[in-house]
Amino acid sequence: MQAFASPAPSAAAHKPITAQRTLAQPPLGLQSNKRRCIYREYEEPIPYQQAWLWQKDLVAERCSGHQPAEDTLLLLQHPPVYTLGAGSTTDHLRFDPASPPHPLYRTERGGEVTYHGPGQLVLYPIMNLKMHVQDLHWYLRSLEEVVIRALESVSGLKGERIKGCTGVWVNSEKVAAVGVRAQKWVTYHGVAVNVTTDLQPFQTIVPCGISSRGVTSVKQLAVHEGASDKELIHEYQFGLLDAFAEVFNVELVHSKLL
């Protein structure tokens, strides 16, 4: 099992946004001898049901066994929506589930209730763990590591794990939530990172069922003084893609399909 060492925290109080890259450029440091992973990023928010359907179609294709299919990574944002895990309780909703303030869906993923919305980057990896490591605990820790490395490389922030709590935390507040599902070792659902997210909707739920800790975002942590929301999102798209390629040792190949 691969072990991950967290990067050392940066001493900088405010980290400037680097020179802008275009989304046509692939992430840095790719090598053609690595396993390929097709990725697609979306600039406009994608309705949750649409992305959910895409994931299920991709999983079904890979589980069919008719032909080998490459790993796929979707990187996107959603319009405001709440999702429940397969076994979550509605006790963690602070509103009537019959009349939610935003759409509410029960999904197959693990974990409790969470919120998705603009300014939150969501990674949905459709990966065959038989070609990586057949261990869901390893996979969860790997997704956390992607976020930890992106926080350090883009913002100089020290993301942490908290024992017994899935996700990534900064100053004991949650900045990224993780919830996954696998069929025949093919993964879907994934990790959501609060970059410029409006945090108010989290007040209407008990995020991930943890009432003792708060939720934060990169923007709220105020490490990019003067940066626009668009600039932060742009940089974190690349930071997360770079970290994903590094942690999973894959070559990311951009696709306009899907």
Active site residues: 208
Burial class (CB in 10 A: 0-12, 13-18, 19+), 17: middle
Q: How far apart are CA 114 and CA 92, in angstroms?
A: 10
Q: At 222, phi and psi to the nearest 5?
A: 55, 45
Q: How far apart are CA 115 and CA 204, in angstroms?
A: 9
Q: Catalogue the E-assigned strands of the chain.
A: 35-41, 71-76, 81-84, 104-106, 114-116, 120-126, 160-162, 165-170, 173-183, 186-194, 250-254
The amino acid that residue 89 corresponds to is T
Q: How far apart are CA 90 and CA 97, in angstroms?
A: 7
Residue 229 near residue 10, CB atoms below 8 Å:
no
